[in-house]
C-alpha cells in the first residue's frame, strides 16, 4: 500500500467536465473540501486540503481518505462518512481535537455525482470553527451571567420598544408593581405609558427623551396592580441598533415610595419646627423691645435692611432665612442688661457700656442650644465684630466672621445712627451712610456696604418707622 493508501483510478468522477468545474469551485473555498466515494476513496480535493496535508491535489485524488487525512488503514471509529452512507442523509458534526483543543465542523452529504465505478460520491467539508465556538461560549457565559443578574436583581429591569411596548421585565419589576410574574405584568400593562399616573409626568418624561438619550433617577408616580400609587425612580437609556436607529428603552426602576414619604414627613416637621422657631424668635424679640422701648422696632428694621442687602447679593434662600432670623433677635442678649442702663438718657460709664457690650455674648448663650441648620447663634454673637478685629466680644477679623454677621453689622450701624436714641436724636441717613462709606473694607464688609449704599441711593430702600 502506498503512503496515500490504496489508489483507485476508478474513484475519479465519471464526468471529467463536471470534475474540472467542481475543482475550480472548491479551490476557491477557504476550508477543506473533499469529494469521497462510499469506500472512502477521494474523488476530488481542494487546494486548502492539499495545502494542509502538504501534498499536491493530484496526489490526493484516488487516495484512501482515512490514510491520507488521519494516517489510518481503516476508517476511525465513528467516522461520519460511514453514518451518511448507512443513513443516506447529510450529517454535520462538531469535533474537538483533544490535543490542540481546536474545534472542527465536519459536514458530509450525499450528492448525485458518481465515480467511474458507479459509486455514489459524498461531499465532505471540514471547517475550523474554533473562533466561532469561543465567541459562542463567551456569549453563552455572559448571557447566563446577565440572566442571573436579571432574575435576581432587587431593582426592576425593563426593556421597551420605540412605541413603549414592554418587551422584557424581570421578576423584581413585576413584584414592585404587584404582579406575581413578569408575564402577568406584560399582559396587564403591555405599554409602559399606561403605568404612569399623571399625564403631566408622562409628558415631561417623553419630552426629556426627545432631548437626551440617558435619564438618571427620574422620579415618577406609577400605579400598582392593586391601585396603590408608588414613587418609582427610573434610570434608563435609549437602545439603538447597529445603524444607530432607536430601538427602544432599557433601564432600571427602583421603588422610592418610602424615601419620598420620609422626605415629605421631614419637610413637614421641618416647616413645623421653623414655624414654631419663628414664633419663638418673634416672642423673644418682643421681650427685648418691651424692656428697651427706644430700640423698639430696631431689630425688625435691621432685619428688613439686612434682608434687602442679602437678597441683592444673591444669597441662597436658606441663608436669607438665617439672616432674617438672626437679625430679628440680634439684640436678644439685652434682656440681661439692666433696664435702667438700656434706658439711660445720658452718657454711659465705661462699666455700663461694658454691660451693654455683653449682650452679644448673652445672645449667643441664649441661642446656642437651639438646633438649627444655619449658624443663627454665631451670627448674633458676631454682629458687633469688625473686619479689622476692633469689634467685640471676640475681636474677630473679617475672615473669621459669618457673612450674615457682616451684613447685619452694616444694617445695624445704619439703623442705629439713623434712629433716635435715649441719649441723642436720630442723626439721619446721610450720616449713617457716611459712616459705612468711610469705613468700607476696614470695619465693614465692602460688598455689603456697596449694596447698602446702592439700595439707598437708588431709593430702593427706606426705613419703616410705623
Ligand atoms: Fe447689638
Q: For 437-448, how does the pLDDT look when each residue is reduced to its tens digit (9 = 90+)?
A: 999 999 999 999
Residue range(s) of every CATH 3.30.450.20 domain in the chain: 9-133, 153-255
Q: For 242-292, how does the pLDDT look when each residue is reduced to its tens digit (9 = 90+)?
A: 888 888 888 888 898 888 888 777 777 666 666 666 666 666 677 677 777
Q: For 1-24, how does the pLDDT look when each residue is reduced to its tens digit (9 = 90+)?
A: 456 666 677 888 888 888 888 888
Q: What is the DSSP string of 257-302?
A: HHHHHHHHHHHHHHHHHHHHHHHHHHHHHHHHHHH-GGGTTHHHHH
Q: What pTM was computed for the model?
A: 0.46
The mean pLDDT of the chain is: 86
Per-residue confidence (pLDDT) for residue 171, from 0 to 100: 93
Cα of 138 from ligand 1 centre, angstroms: 75
Does 46 or 267 have the greater pLDDT score? Answer: 46
Specify whether domain 153-255 bears CATH 3.20.20.70. Answer: no
Cα of 384 from ligand 1 centre, angstroms: 6
Q: Residue 107 is inside which H or E element, if any? A: strand 103-114
Beta-strand relationship, 42-45 and 156-161: unpaired
Cα of 373 from ligand 1 centre, angstroms: 23
Cα of 377 from ligand 1 centre, angstroms: 13
Separation of alpha carbons 197 and 202, rounded Å: 8
Q: For 386-424, how does the pLDDT look when each residue is reduced to its tens digit (9 = 90+)?
A: 999 999 999 999 999 999 999 999 999 999 999 887 677
Per-residue confidence (pLDDT) for residue 276, from 0 to 100: 62
Residue 295 has pLDDT above 70, yes or no: no
Cα of 298 from ligand 1 centre, angstroms: 10
Per-residue confidence (pLDDT) for residue 1, from 0 to 100: 44
Cα of 150 from ligand 1 centre, angstroms: 65
Q: Residue 457 is inside which H or E element, if any? A: helix 446-457
What's the burial of 125, exposed, middle or buried (CB within 10 Å: 0-12/13-18/19+)? buried
The distance from CA 33 to its chain's CA centroid, rounded to whole angstroms, is: 55
Cα of 272 from ligand 1 centre, angstroms: 29
Q: For 55-91, how does the pLDDT look when each residue is reduced to its tens digit (9 = 90+)?
A: 898 888 889 988 888 888 898 887 888 888 988 888 8
Q: For 301-312, how does the pLDDT look when each residue is reduced to its tens digit (9 = 90+)?
A: 999 999 999 999
Q: Which residues contact 165 (CB under 8 A, 6 or more apart)?
A: 190, 191, 192, 248
Q: For 154-204, how does the pLDDT look when each residue is reduced to its tens digit (9 = 90+)?
A: 888 888 888 888 888 999 999 999 999 999 988 888 787 788 888 888 888
Residue range(s) of every CATH 1.10.3210.10 domain in the chain: 262-457
Q: 398-402: long-range contacts (C-beta < 8 A, 24 or more apart)?
A: 398/445, 402/375, 402/378
Contact 229, 255 (CB under 8 A): no
Residue 323 has pLDDT above 90, yes or no: yes
229-240 β-sheet, strand order: 166-169, 156-161, 246-255, 229-240, 214-223
Separation of alpha carbons 113 and 17, rounded Å: 12
CA distances to 63, 93, 122, 213, 230 from 112, rounded to whole Å, are 21, 22, 9, 57, 69
Cα of 307 from ligand 1 centre, angstroms: 17
Q: For 346-365, how does the pLDDT look when each residue is reduced to its tens digit (9 = 90+)?
A: 788 888 888 888 999 988 98
Cα of 122 from ligand 1 centre, angstroms: 108
Which pLDDT band holds residue 42 (cuts at 50, 70, 90)?
very high
Specify whether domain 262-457 bears CATH 1.10.3210.10. Answer: yes
Cα of 359 from ligand 1 centre, angstroms: 7
Q: Which three cell numbers stand for residue 373?
A: 441648620
Angle, helices 257-291/298-312, rounded to nearest 10 degrees: 140
Per-residue confidence (pLDDT) for residue 218, from 0 to 100: 85
Q: For 365-374, how does the pLDDT look when each residue is reduced to its tens digit (9 = 90+)?
A: 878 876 677 8
- CATH fold of 9-133 reads Beta-Lactamase (3.30.450)
Q: Return the CA Rg of the chain.
A: 46
Cα of 427 from ligand 1 centre, angstroms: 18
How big, in percent rounded to 5, are the helix, strand and coil portions of the chain? Answer: 50, 20, 30
The residue assigned the cell 500500500 is: 1
Separation of alpha carbons 93 and 98, rounded Å: 15
Per-residue confidence (pLDDT) for residue 273, from 0 to 100: 62
Amino acid at each position: 500500500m502506498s503512503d496515500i493508501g490504496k489508489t483507485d483510478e476508478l474513484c475519479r468522477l465519471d464526468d471529467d467536465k463536471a470534475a474540472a468545474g467542481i475543482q475550480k469551485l472548491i479551490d476557491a473555498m477557504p476550508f477543506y473540501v473533499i469529494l469521497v466515494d462510499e469506500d472512502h476513496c477521494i474523488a476530488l480535493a481542494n487546494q486548502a486540503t492539499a495545502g494542509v496535508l502538504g501534498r499536491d491535489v493530484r496526489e490526493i485524488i484516488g487516495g484512501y481518505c482515512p490514510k491520507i487525512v488521519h494516517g489510518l488503514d481503516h476508517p476511525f471509529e465513528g467516522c461520519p462518512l460511514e453514518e451518511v452512507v448507512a443513513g443516506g442523509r447529510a450529517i454535520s458534526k462538531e469535533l474537538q481535537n483533544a490535543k490542540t483543543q481546536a474545534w472542527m465542523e465536519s459536514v458530509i452529504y450525499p450528492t448525485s455525482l458518481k465515480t467511474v465505478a458507479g459509486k455514489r460520491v459524498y461531499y465532505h467539508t471540514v471547517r475550523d470553527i474554533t473562533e466561532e465556538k469561543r465567541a459562542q461560549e463567551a456569549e453563552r457565559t455572559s448571557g447566563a451571567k446577565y440572566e442571573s443578574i436579571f432574575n435576581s436583581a432587587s431593582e426592576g429591569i425593563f426593556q421597551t420598544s420605540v412605541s413603549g411596548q414592554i418587551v422584557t421585565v424581570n421578576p423584581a419589576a413585576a413584584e414592585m408593581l404587584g404582579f406575581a410574574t413578569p408575564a402577568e405584568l406584560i399582559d396587564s400593562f403591555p405599554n409602559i405609558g399606561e403605568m404612569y399616573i399623571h399625564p403631566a409626568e408622562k409628558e415631561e418624561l417623553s419630552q426629556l427623551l426627545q432631548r437626551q438619550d440617558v435619564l438618571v433617577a427620574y422620579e415618577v408616580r406609577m400605579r400598582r396592580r392593586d391601585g396603590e400609587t408608588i414613587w418609582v425612580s427610573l434610570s434608563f437609556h435609549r437602545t439603538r441598533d447597529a445603524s444607530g436607529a432607536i430601538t427602544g428603552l432599557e433601564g432600571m426602576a427602583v421603588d422610592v415610595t418610602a424615601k419620598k414619604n420620609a422626605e415629605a414627613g421631614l419637610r413637614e416637621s421641618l416647616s413645623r419646627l421653623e414655624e414654631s422657631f419663628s414664633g419663638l424668635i418673634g416672642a423673644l424679640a418682643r421681650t427685648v423691645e418691651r424692656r428697651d422701648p427706644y430700640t423698639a422696632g430696631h431689630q425688625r428694621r435691621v432685619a428688613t435692611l439686612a434682608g434687602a442687602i442679602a437678597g441683592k447679593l444673591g444669597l441662597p434662600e436658606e441663608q436669607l432665612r438665617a439672616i432674617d432670623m438672626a437679625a430679628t433677635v440680634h439684640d436678644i442678649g439685652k434682656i440681661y442688661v439692666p433696664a435702667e442702663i438700656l434706658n439711660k438718657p445720658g452718657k454711659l460709664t465705661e462699666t455700663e457700656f461694658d454691660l451693654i457690650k455683653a449682650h452679644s455674648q448673652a445672645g449667643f448663650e441664649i441661642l446656642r442650644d437651639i438646633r438649627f441648620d444655619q449658624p443663627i447663634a454665631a451670627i448674633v454673637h458676631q454682629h458687633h465684630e469688625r473686619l479689622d478685629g476692633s469689634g467685640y466680644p471676640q475681636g474677630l477679623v473679617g475672615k473669621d466672621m459669618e457673612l450674615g454677621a457682616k451684613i447685619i453689622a452694616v444694617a445695624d450701624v445704619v439703623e442705629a445712627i439713623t434712629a433716635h436714641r435715649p441719649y441723642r436724636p436720630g442723626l439721619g441717613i446721610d450720616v449713617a451712610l457716611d459712616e459705612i462709606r468711610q469705613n468700607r473694607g476696614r470695619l465693614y464688609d465692602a460688598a455689603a456696604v456697596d449694596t447698602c449704599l446702592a439700595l439707598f441711593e437708588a431709593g430702593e430702600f427706606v426705613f419703616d418707622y410705623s
